[in-house]
Structure 1
Amino acid sequence: MAETSHQNAAKSHEDAAKAHHTAAEHQGKGDHKASLEHSQKALTQSEMAHKHSTEAHQKTSQHAKAA
């Protein structure tokens, strides 16, 4: 179960990073509207990554205590 939580956290972090990179690319091209859209998507995905990371940490802590 903890592995799945960690995998979800890692995937969320990867998705957020991709959105950040895409936002930066659009910003560099002067496409500020697309940059803003991708920045907002990155923020949402970063928040989800934080949620998944917190859940993974909690599950790992619970598993360690039970062992």
Structure 2
Amino acid sequence: MAEASHKQAAKAHEDAAKAHHTAAEHHGKGDHKTGAEHSEKAHTHSESAHKHSTEAHKKSGQHSKG
């Protein structure tokens, strides 16, 4: 179970990073509207990554104790 949580966390981190890079590209080109949209996506993915990382950490701790 912990492995699935770690994989979900990793995927969310990767998605957040991609969205951050895309946002930066758009902001750099002066397309601030699209940049802001990608920044919002990055924020959503980052929140998901935090949630899954926390779950994975808890499950890993339970696994090592049990």
TM-score, length basis structure 1: 0.96
SS of equivalent to 1:30: coil
Q: How does 1:6-25 map to 2 (within 5 A)?
A: 6-25=6-25
TM-score, length basis structure 2: 0.98
Deviations 1:13-44 (A, max 9, x none): 00000000000000011000000000011001
SS of equivalent to 1:21: helix
Deviation at 1:62, TM superposition (A): 0.5
Q: Percent identity?
A: 74
When the two chains are superposed, the root-mean-square deviation of aligned CA atoms in Å is 0.4
AA paired with 2:26?
Answer: H
Question: Is residue 60 from structure 1 mapped to residue 45 from structure 2 by the alignment?
Answer: no
**Unaligned segments of structure 2, at least 5 residues:** none
* Cross-structure match for 1:48: 48
**Between Structure 1 and Structure 2, how many residues are aligned?**
66
Give the Cα separation in 2 of the matches to 1:44 and 1:3: 22
